[in-house]
Chain A
Amino acid sequence: MSTSVLSTRNLQKKFGQLVVARDISIDLPKGARYALIGPNGAGKTTLINLLTGMLAPDGGQVFLDEADITTLPPSERVKRGLVRTFQINTLFPNISPLEAVTLVVCERKGEAGTWWRGLPGYGASIEEAYETLKSIGLGDHVDRPTRQLAYGQQRLLEIALALATKPHVLLLDEPAAGVPKGESQELFTAIAGLSSDISILFIEHDMDVVFRFASRIIVMVSGGILVEGAPAEISADKRVHEVYLGSAHHA
């Protein structure tokens, strides 16, 4: 555990009778590129909600950099560098990407509580927001209302908002959800190119992408972790084939 930036011990969560997190214990080491896979409804998004504090667990603990953050509110976790993106676009439809990312930068720098000074006075934050958008390929789309962006661009903005917080642990919930296969490779190439100071856990259904970009894979089934291992181990695992990969995957 000493090298892991993010870990959980025996996380539990139920929705009524439905167990969505069953004794989840994971360890994410520094610089990780971990994939979290599992069939629909396995509890992957729920796990991210538990990690980020958007849901409170019924039991167990979450640790960030060795500190117990189980009861820390979501915004405080973000301040400590634990940041997520959303499977379903969770953006700001009527403000521009530039404004949205500037807001994130201002939040990070502790400027967003200031009401007596106009935004143009925050040139450094605005420039940083613009650079972040450019770095992810949105440099030409900073000015329109977000709702007018193409879907693929909105997916990129979803990530840009997270990056602008300067995370050191990034949880990506199906970043390429709904994006055509060709573009999703591009998107993951961009993600793979992020600094190795950022530890990443990503959820993804496309096995080609998973095997290509993950250094390690966690397989979830009905709220529990079925198996965790290197890509080669996972693709050789019989149980994984039975419950998840089926015949679709040819390793």
Chain B
Amino acid sequence: MTDTATPLYNPQDLMRAQVRWRMLETVFWVSALLPFFVAETYLVLCTQIAIAALFALSLDLLVGYSGIVSLGHAVYFGIGAYTAGLLAKYGWGEPLSGLLLAGLVAMLFGYLISFIMVRITHFALIMVTIGLCLLFEEFGNQAHDITGGHDGLQGVRMWRLFGTFRWDLYGFTAYAYSLVVVFLCFLVIRRIINSPFGLSLRGMRENARRMPAIGAPSKQRLQIVYTISATFAGIAGGLLAQTTQFVALDALSFQRSAEVLVMLVLGGAGRLYGGIIGSIIFLVARDQLASNNPQYWYFWLGLLLILVIIFLPNGILGGIAHLLSRRKKS
């Protein structure tokens, strides 16, 4: 059809190559099983990482893929955590249904709040999300009778997983449970990102002004992604409540909102694995450094964040991708 000098594209192959499951991904998820065998004492940390990774992934749907910032994402994390925690405290300790409800309640809040979110952009959005977070945190503090306020939610009793597996002290069950849930959520999020809906999210991120001119109902899309994102954040929060059998007020806090954003930006937003890598680096570094002195840890975190932002504006994964593409060219 065309002359032979020009490359012949198969457009469907190009699209398939974009979404293909890569070998490295299998390696990554298989190596997530290693802690069971080689790092038993770190299972608790690994569970925290898995939960943070899911939380960061949920935020990535907004920040990395849709181009909307949120500094209040802990609202949904906290709602999920309190939902799962309260359920278990007041007699329903079944983990799976509890987690599902945590996600659903966060979804409901996400949907309601999305009506505000789609009306504002940029700076106003940052401020409003911070405001919401402070609001919910203070509400959690005032509602002492329900949430336990600053003392946290005590008396969370989880039933055995599938009626069989006890929540052991080492955290075998907790890590296995979290890992499976996070992996399943990851698969769903991956599918969302690689769907036509996901493409339209990237469209909004790349050029919100063009979207209406190609017939895209941007506001409706934003509401949907906001709701989906809140749901996964709620599931992450629910996991934390269930695996620690406790909910601290800081599940809702502004600090948690900021930290998850830092993890995502460190790893690289809009790259699927960015949030995961970011939470591994963040939590491992904190574990190593903060044991001496918390201030010390914040010093290193601040330094790392500044260096990454200046030298790797697309995060650590973005930097690696850049290096690889340069290597390929030369």
Interface residues on A, range: 35 or more
For the A-B complex, the count of residue pairs with Cβ-Cβ distances under 8 Å equals 145
| Beta-carbon contact of A90 and B216 below 8 Å | no
A to B CB contacts below 8 Å, 20 in the list: A75-B215, A75-B217, A90-B213, A93-B207, A99-B199, A107-B200, A112-B196, A113-B196, A115-B195, A115-B228, A116-B191, A117-B191, A119-B194, A120-B15, A126-B11, A129-B11, A130-B11, A139-B2, A142-B9, A161-B210
- The answer to the question of A42 belonging to the interface, with a C-beta cut-off of 8 Å to chain B, is no
The 6 closest A-B pairs by CB, nearest first: A78-B215, A92-B206, A115-B197, A74-B212, A130-B11, A106-B196
Q: Are A117 and B195 in contact (CB under 8 A)?
A: yes
Apart from A90-B209, A95-B202, A140-B9, 9 more pairs, CB < 8 Å: A73-B212, A74-B212, A78-B214, A92-B206, A98-B15, A106-B196, A116-B191, A119-B194, A120-B19
CB distance from B14 to the nearest CB of A (A): 6
A59–chain B nearest beta-carbon distance, Å: 23
Q: What is the distance, in angstroms, from B195's C-beta to the closest C-beta of chain A?
A: 5
Structural contact, A90 and B207, CB atoms closer than 8 A? yes
B interface list, Cβ under 8 A from A? 2, 6-7, 9, 11-12, 14-16, 18-19, 191-192, 194-200, 202-203, 206-207, 209-218, 221, 224, 228
| Complex alpha-carbon distance, A107 and B215, angstroms | 6
CB distance from A53 to the nearest CB of B (A): 8
Which B residues lie within 8 Å of A162 (CB)? 213-214
Q: Which of A100-135 contact B (CB under 8 A)?
A: 100, 102-104, 106-108, 111-120, 122-123, 125-127, 129-130
Residues in B with CB closer than 8 Å to A234 are none
A52 in the interface (beta carbon within 8 A): yes
The listed residue (A54, A75, A91, A98) touching B11 by CB distance below 8 A is A98
A205 in the interface (beta carbon within 8 A): no
In whole Å, how far is B95's beta carbon from the nearest beta carbon of chain A? 25
Q: A92-B206, A120-B19, A140-B6 are in contact. Are A54 and B194 (CB under 8 A)?
A: no
User: How many angstroms between the C-alpha atoms of A100 and B196 in the bound complex?
Assistant: 11
Pick the contact of B216: A53, A54, A107 (CB < 8 A). Answer: A107
Shortest distance from the beta carbon of B64 to any chain A beta carbon, whole Å: 11
